[in-house]
Amino acid sequence: MSTEEKSLHFIEQIIEENLASGFPQDQLRFRFPPEPNGYLHIGHAKSICLNFGLGLKYNAPVNLRFDDTNPAKEEQEYVDAIKEDLLWLGFNWSEELYSSDYFQQLYDWAIAMIKNGKAYVDSQSSEDMATQKGTPTQPGVDGPYRNRSIEENLTLFEGMKNGDFPEGTHVLRAKIDMKSTNMLMRDPLMYRILHRHHHRTGNQWNIYPMYDYAHGESDYIEQISHSICTLEFVMHRELYNWFLDQIYDENKVRPHQYEFARLNLNYTVMSKRKLLQLVQENIVNGWDDPRMPTISGLRRRGYTPNSIRKFCDIIGVAKRENVIDVSLLEFCLREDLNKTAPRVMAVLDPIKVVITNYPADKVEWLEAENNQEDESAGFREVPFSAELYIEREDFLEVAPPKFFRLSIGNEVRLKNGYIIKGESVIKDAEGNITEIHVTYDEDSRSGSGSEASQRKVAGTLHWVSLKHAVEAEVRMYDRLFTDEAPDSHKGKNFLEFMNSNSLEIIKGFVEPSLVTADAGDKFQFQRLGYFNVDKDSKEGKIVFNKTVGLKDAWEEKGKKEANLLMNTQKEINKYVKEKDADNANLLLKSIVDNIISIDNFSLINQTVVKNVKNDNNSLLFANLILANSNKVQTKDIELEVLTKLYSMSLKSQLAAVRILAIQNLENDSSNFEEFKTQLSELKSKEKNENVLSLLNDLNI
């Protein structure tokens, strides 16, 4: 196999094999088939890039087909949003089609299947059908209506179509095999009654085809050669082929279904149902909220089409499910914005700086490079005056070693400007610094070529001229969830992991060149990150969204929390060995404070599990976490692991472990009864007064 062939993903390899076996290239046809029941999200972007990418690679048409078979959940708003997202991503479709275009043809085929004894009307309740269908390990049984006559089936199905029956009274089922090992083949539903208004066909139909029936047949009508689905449709392939068998004409292209692993991204949810819940419960501000993983949300946040396409290219196409770190998506975005986003200056937590030896009424216009990564980006002029804003965190009155920003007696350079030296501060009645007074070196202006301008100083700060500063609303966005897999924890609602700090709205100041910026314009706020102008901006009020930081703050936070837990475990050892009671209490307070500060549910949950072992200090750590963390509770720990922790802890030689285990059990009503006997046995031989006092207070 050549190097080029090895680089192909498995679907490309299949297509190449098909072509080599004689399949005509001009009969290649692909499709992207969204259901218009929600907005597209980043997971759909992978499928979009795959299908349209194949179309570009093989010069083959790609249809946009809306699988609009459920009017109860579908709206024109979603159709319009999907089309907008596709165009924004840079893809255009060959034909815009709808499964509803084929309702009459699908109905006609269903009539033919009834006449051929391959379909029947079932009048059971949904509960009875579920029982009759069996289980994965138990075969189904024939229902009471399976052998209705063809004439009765045709009459009932016609009545369903005409609206003669209420919803839920009848369904049309394919007659296949109630004993099949694939439960999807046990007489699946083909049609159900829905007296709903359809966004395209209005009230013309009272019955609507099920997805499994409509999808493959629509592929056949459009002569799709390669029908590409995600892995959850693997078991549907047999049914896909069965439906095709009923209508296939050997003179036409027969579609084939292939499955690939969908995109799973950490720190978010990919279920349209759950995303809809976030919207409907006003947890977010609509589908295009910049915290949402929707294409429209990412667009509003400031993502670029190129960064999303690059991300999809990097993660590739595979057959095995895996979870992609959102930091990779952010990396692709930073890489793209670094090349294209103009550099500007903004101050988001301002403190006033007065240059005491600069003329009070003087204004200079300094030349500033727009983007050092793009030679064609040119330069702009920024105003400089005696009064400036800098970031509050860029100044300390008394600086520690290795503080490379402004402090009293130390020098820094102002970006594109002069070297300044901290001289004094003005404070309010509460002792808060309100002004920093500095002096500047008149000969040190950047780019002047003077000896002073080339002098090296500890750091460079961004700034904004106070009298020219433009006030801006800045929306600081963070990840929507605190946990990397918010919808994967048994017994927990994904909403429990909402990040309460996912949006902070602040007032900042930006340089005056931004007053004419338009919605969607993207910038790098120097030293702060990438931002874009939000659509809420209007004349006199500019609104910026934080797109992404210059560095991966979450990776740093994750490392810090992991390191903090590791160091806290070392503190446990010191605490256990400490003889002085006051010192021991201080150590314990520090340990508890560290535990409380951890936000990552998965990390702290795993730490508990890892410390359930026959080691007193480890058991102490696990019990302290259960007793003090507000992120993990006893119900979140596997019962077998929790039982082992309690049992081992009550036998521990360390009194502190036994005390914590008793306290945790006392607060764990669901497991307390199971340990009454062990607690009673412990009480009969316990010698430690504190442990004994706790045991005496228990009702055992």
Residue 604 assigned to a binding site = no
- Tens digits of per-residue pLDDT, 240-274? 999 999 999 999 999 999 999 999 999 999 999 99
Partners of 119 in the β-ladder: 174
299 counts as catalytic: no
Distance between the two ends of the chain, CA-based, in angstroms?
73
What are residue 284's phi and psi, to 5 degrees?
A: -125, 170
Residue 499 region by backbone torsions, left for phi larger than 0, else alpha for psi between -120 and 50, else beta: beta
| pLDDT at 124 > cutoff 70 | yes
- Tens digits of per-residue pLDDT, 376-398? 899 999 999 999 999 999 999 99
Instruction: Look at residue 610 and give its three-state secondary structure.
Output: helix
Residue 36 assigned to a binding site = yes
Residue 272 assigned to a binding site = yes
What stretch of H or E contains 434? strand 433-440
**How far is the C-alpha of 360 from the C-alpha of 385, rounded, in Å?**
7
Three-state SS string over 177-226 comes to CCCCCCHHHCCCEEEEECCCCECCCECCCCEEECHHHHHHHHHHHHCCCE
Residue 21 assigned to a binding site = no
Residues 6+ apart with CB under 8 A from 247: 109, 217, 220
Residue 421 assigned to a binding site = no
Write down the catalytic residue from 29, 35, 259, 330. 35
- Tens digits of per-residue pLDDT, 429-439? 999 999 999 99
Instruction: Look at residue 161 and give its three-state secondary structure.
Output: helix
Dihedral of CA 681/684/687/691: which sign?
Answer: positive
- Tens digits of per-residue pLDDT, 523-539? 999 999 999 999 999 99
With contact defined as beta carbons under 8 Å apart, do 569 and 595 qualify? no
What are residue 462's phi and psi, to 5 degrees?
A: -90, 165
Q: Lowest mean pLDDT: which of 306-310, 416-420, 569-573?
A: 569-573
Residue 662 assigned to a binding site = no
pLDDT classification of 2: cutoffs 50, 70, 90: very low
Partners of 304 in the β-ladder: none
Residue 26 region by backbone torsions, left for phi larger than 0, else alpha for psi between -120 and 50, else beta: alpha
Residue 281 assigned to a binding site = no
User: What's the gap between Cα 674 and its chain centre?
Assistant: 40
| pLDDT at 108 > cutoff 90 | yes
pLDDT of residue 117: 97
Residue 263 assigned to a binding site = yes
- Tens digits of per-residue pLDDT, 303-338? 999 999 999 999 999 998 888 999 999 999 999 999
pLDDT of residue 62: 98
**How far is the C-alpha of 604 from the C-alpha of 630, rounded, in Å?**
10
User: What's the gap between Cα 133 and its chain centre?
Assistant: 36
CA atoms within 13 A on the CB side of 679: 24
Average pLDDT over the chain reads 94
| pLDDT at 4 > cutoff 60 | no
pLDDT of residue 551: 87
Residue 37 assigned to a binding site = yes
With contact defined as beta carbons under 8 Å apart, do 319 and 260 qualify? yes
Calculate the alpha carbon distances from 149 to 118, 123, 152, 277 in Å: 12, 14, 5, 44
- Tens digits of per-residue pLDDT, 600-633? 888 888 899 999 998 999 999 999 999 999 888 8
The fraction of the chain above a pLDDT of 70, given in percent, is: 99
pLDDT of residue 601: 84
Residue 537 assigned to a binding site = no
With contact defined as beta carbons under 8 Å apart, do 34 and 40 qualify? yes
Angle between helices 655-666 and 676-685 (to 10 degrees): 140
- The closest of 355, 352, 353 to 441, measured between CA atoms, is 355
Instruction: Look at residue 60 and give its three-state secondary structure.
Output: coil
310 counts as catalytic: no
Instruction: Look at residue 691 and give its three-state secondary structure.
Output: helix
Residue 399 assigned to a binding site = no
- Tens digits of per-residue pLDDT, 127-175? 999 999 999 999 999 999 999 999 999 999 999 999 999 999 999 999 9
| pLDDT at 3 > cutoff 70 | no
Write down the catalytic residue from 83, 118, 254, 262. 262
What one-character DSSP code corresponds to residue 398?
S
Partners of 506 in the β-ladder: 474
Instruction: Look at residue 684 and give its three-state secondary structure.
Output: helix
**How far is the C-alpha of 680 from the C-alpha of 686, rounded, in Å?**
10
**How far is the C-alpha of 434 from the C-alpha of 353, rounded, in Å?**
9
Residue 46 assigned to a binding site = yes
The 10 Å CB-count burial string (b at 16+, else e) for 348-360 is bebbebbbeebee
Q: Tell me which amino acid residue 147 is.
A: N
**How far is the C-alpha of 472 from the C-alpha of 535, rounded, in Å?**
13
- When pLDDT is averaged across residues 539-544 and rounded to a whole number, the result is 96
Max Cα separation, the chain? Answer: 101
Write down the catalytic residue from 31, 272, 522, 658. 272
Residue 170 assigned to a binding site = no
pLDDT of residue 461: 97
**How far is the C-alpha of 287 from the C-alpha of 289, rounded, in Å?**
6
Residue with tokens 């179509």: 161
Query: CB 191: neighbour CB atoms within 10 A?
Result: 26
What stretch of H or E contains 683? helix 676-685
What's the whole-model pTM score? 0.85
What value, to the nearest 5°, has the Cα angle with vertex 487 and ends 484 and 491?
Answer: 120
Residue with the bigger pLDDT between 353 and 670: it is 353
262 counts as catalytic: yes
Q: Tell me which amino acid residue 516 is.
A: T
pLDDT classification of 418: cutoffs 50, 70, 90: very high
User: What's the gap between Cα 271 and its chain centre?
Assistant: 10
- Tens digits of per-residue pLDDT, 29-60? 999 999 999 999 999 999 999 999 999 999 99
**How far is the C-alpha of 297 from the C-alpha of 277, rounded, in Å?**
16
Residue 478 assigned to a binding site = no
Here the tokens at position 563 are 């390191």
User: What's the gap between Cα 251 and its chain centre?
Assistant: 45
pLDDT of residue 1: 38
pLDDT classification of 697: cutoffs 50, 70, 90: confident
Partners of 395 in the β-ladder: 406
pLDDT classification of 563: cutoffs 50, 70, 90: confident
Angle between helices 616-628 and 581-597 (to 10 degrees): 60
